Structure 1
């Protein structure tokens, strides 16, 4: 297969919720931490040094992704870039767990159950009641959206299925038209896209991780099938990033959007 198109995926930088060890996801509009700002800026610098240029960008409606994109644009001097913001690229919805301490949740339900909710492909966490103040149907970004479309909890499978219309209807046609596309989103929405593009099995996707703020370049053939994918980072940098995920990947000191440690590609 010959590569005809290049797509760049970027997971946002660290958030305040990460530092506080809280479940975040779809329903919490967490901000970047000081470290997250530095990570996003460095991601932009990596893209600049690689000579990457873009015609269009896609992101979620959550500020951690939007701010990451803005900081990348700052480094690339491309604030003119057309940007499409869509709720379909939002992070997975953690249901009634969102905003809660992961440590407290593990003590309440048991680590085995919480790990099942977090790492399985198709097991959903407890749903959020629509009368709860945390229900997103009451939030400004979703005021014009059919409330039936707004999730109250999601598995990784649900997240992928919610994300795919954005790919089929908006992103893929622009890639096929020859536009150079950057997607800045979240761990699980990007993992869902990689599962779809690479036809990963349900088992393999549970082992796939996309480290935060490391640009992932995906080269595609004319039918948008991946030819190869690689990070704009040295092997050692990727190894270190994944090692950090491994350290965080426990219910006492982890990132709510991380999964099992695995190399992409």
Structure 2
């Protein structure tokens, strides 16, 4: 039963399917990145050849004692770690969750949205809630989203389903007055909050003069090949817009400067953003080439989990459902967290 749940939790290589873990040692890799089909899509499902090999090593990932503070603002539940032995101290482990926003109103209308700030549809709301259920047993200490409402709605709705029941608090640092006016003066309340940081650098790429246009009508006007080049090439931008390369420069730079240090400190992070900004980050995490990343597609509202340890990123796939205990036992660290949640509820 646990094996079945684990298979449901990990990504798969299939037609329009992709999963990799470039952080694993090379000698454990059974599939070369060069063998990946030209088009692939991240989905949940069965295990790929590489993942069958990685599955055997999953139990080897060890966890460190859980951190007790987040940016000096909030606390996370204390997890009882085994007594330290004389062996060398193990490095901290952290969880990284990446989630593309739920369906937006312009997704539904097949319009180029880019940096236009449009909200979710009802389907998008439901996708965000379902995403929250899938990650309801995974620790989250900080939330980062783009500055666009569809990403922020997705993160907020997802957190309503988390079993820890902490409250996301939007951080306002646009001015000293904003910082002062948003202070919390109760230590106990702070412990029940999660910092929620918004950043324009995580925005969808700016589609320039395509924003607001119907995708099919644009293909009819400019030609399918031209529009495909604007949408799928790595370094060719649409008229007065950003290429994927330009989007990656800002998104990855922000990730390295602001998010990666939190992960290295053992903080568990969720990022709710967009197809292109998340593809850029995944390119960095999985060490994809510019040719490989252009064929990478992310479904709306499907969370992806990485385990971060010793500066390496291990992709664990997409959590399948909140009621399957085996799904979340990726590591001893995450298994202990779920056990703690069970104890709190019962």
- What TM-score does the superposition give when structure 1 sets the normalisation length? 0.74
Partner secondary structure for residue 75 of structure 1? coil
Question: Is residue 263–residue 308 contact of structure 2 (8 Å, CA) maintained in 1?
Answer: no
- Deviations, residues 208-236 of structure 1 (Å, cap 9, x unaligned): 1221111100122311x2223301128xx
Say yes or no: does 1:14 pair with 2:127: no
Whole-Å separation in 2 of the counterparts to 1:170 and 1:105: 37
Summarize the alignment of residues 1-265 of structure 1 with structure 2, pairs less than 5 Å apart. 2=61, 4-26=93-115, 28-48=116-136, 51-76=137-162, 77-79=165-167, 80-127=193-240, 153-223=241-311, 225-233=312-320
Question: Is residue 5–residue 222 contact of structure 1 (8 Å, CA) maintained in 2?
Answer: no
Question: Is residue 122–residue 158 contact of structure 1 (8 Å, CA) maintained in 2?
Answer: yes
Whole-Å separation in 2 of the counterparts to 1:122 and 1:231: 29
Displacement of 1:72 in angstroms is 1.0
- What TM-score does the superposition give when structure 2 sets the normalisation length? 0.57
**Bigger Cα Rg:** 2
Question: Is residue 56–residue 180 contact of structure 1 (8 Å, CA) maintained in 2?
Answer: yes
Displacement of 1:201 in angstroms is 0.8
Question: Is residue 114–residue 206 contact of structure 2 (8 Å, CA) maintained in 1?
Answer: yes
- Deviations, residues 43-67 of structure 1 (Å, cap 9, x unaligned): 111111xx11211110001000000
Partner secondary structure for residue 122 of structure 1? coil
Cα RMSD between the aligned structures?
1.4
Displacement of 1:104 in angstroms is 1.8
Partner of 1:140: none
Partner of 2:179: none
User: What count of residue pairs does the alignment treat as equivalent?
Assistant: 205
Whole-Å separation in 2 of the counterparts to 1:55 and 1:220: 14
**Any runs of at least 4 consecutive aligned residues in structure 1 with deviations exceeding 4 A, and if so which?**
none
Whole-Å separation in 2 of the counterparts to 1:103 and 1:204: 25
- Deviations, residues 110-154 of structure 1 (Å, cap 9, x unaligned): 111001100111110001xxxxxxxxxxxxxxxxxxxxxxxxx11
Partner of 1:240: none
Q: Unaligned 5+ residue runs, structure 1?
A: 128-152, 235-265
Q: Unaligned 5+ residue runs, structure 2?
A: 1-23, 25-60, 63-92, 168-192, 322-346
Whole-Å separation in 2 of the counterparts to 1:35 and 1:23: 18
